[in-house]
Amino acid sequence: MTKNVLVISSTLRKNGNSEVLAEEFAKGAKDAGNSVEFISLRDKDIKFCKGCLVCQKIQSCVIKDDSNDIVERMKNADVIAFASPIYYYEMSGQLKTLLDRGNPLFSSDYKFRDIYFLAAAADSDLHSADIAINGIQGWIACFAHAQLKGTVLGAGAEAVGDIQDNPAIKQAYDMGFSI
C-alpha cells in the first residue's frame, strides 16, 4: 500500500548532516513506492506559538506564516519523518517551534500514525540524541494514534559532509525503504 510520507528537515545548514539523512530516508521511501514530499525549514517563516489556543476551536493557527501550510501537510501525511541536528543534546529550535505550532493537529482528524526521527550530532556518543528523542516522544504522546517507529543517529558528524561515511546513511535509507 502506497503511503504519503512527509520528510521535514530542520537544519539551517545547506547540505547539513541531518538533511543528508533526511534525503536518504526520503530516497528509501520513494524507492519503496511511496509518495514522498520533502520540506526544508531553512527558508521558512515560522513564528513562535502564542499559546492562545484559538487553533483548538478553528483548526488552524491565527498567526499567518509558513507553519500553517506545513501543519496541514503533516495532518494529511500517513508517515512523518523529522530530521534535526543535535544542539546541546536537544533538537533544533526550528523543529521545536514547528512542533509547538502543530497545536491545531491535537483536536483534528490527523492521518499520521508512524513518526521517525533522524538526527546528526557532533558528539560521537550514541546516546547524544536521547533527550531530543524524548522530546519527540513527548509530542507524539499527544496523539493517541501515532507512535515513534524508528530513529537514526549520525553520531560524530560535525562539519558539513562528515556524515558521508557514517553508517547512519544506510540506516536512514533502509528505514525509509521499510515503510
pLDDT recorded at residue 59: 87
Helices (H), 54-124: 55-58, 67-76, 93-101
On the 0-12 / 13-18 / 19+ scale of CB atoms within 10 A, 114 is: middle
Mean pLDDT of 20-27: 98
Q: What share of the chain is helix, strand, coil (3-state, %, to 5)?
A: 35, 20, 40
Mean pLDDT of 51-60: 91
Per-residue cell: 19: 538533511
The secondary element (H helix, E strand) that includes residue 150 is: strand 147-155
pLDDT band for position 15 (50/70/90)? very high
List Cα–Cα distances, 94 to 21, 77, 123, 149, in angstroms.
17, 20, 20, 22
pLDDT band for position 153 (50/70/90)? very high
Distance CA 157, CA 46 (A): 27
Q: Please give the single-letter amino acid code of residue 26.
A: A
pLDDT band for position 178 (50/70/90)? very high
Strands 4-9 and 114-121: unpaired
What's the start-to-end Cα distance of the chain, in Å? 9
Q: What is the pLDDT of residues 86-145, one digit of tens each?
A: 999 999 999 999 999 999 998 899 999 999 999 999 999 999 999 999 999 999 999 999
The rounded percent of the chain whose pLDDT value lies above 70 is 100
pLDDT of 51 above 90: yes
Q: Which residue has the cell 523529522?
A: 82
pTM: 0.96
List CB contacts of 51: < 8 A, sequence separation 6 or more.
Answer: none
Per-residue cell: 166: 557514517
Hey, is 56 helix, strand or coil?
A: helix
The region that residue 88 occupies, defined by phi over 0 for left and psi between -120 and 50 for alpha, beta otherwise, is left
* Residues 103 and 62 sit within 8 Å (Cβ to Cβ): no
The secondary element (H helix, E strand) that includes residue 135 is: helix 130-140
Which domains does the chain carry?
4-77+87-151 (3.40.50.360)
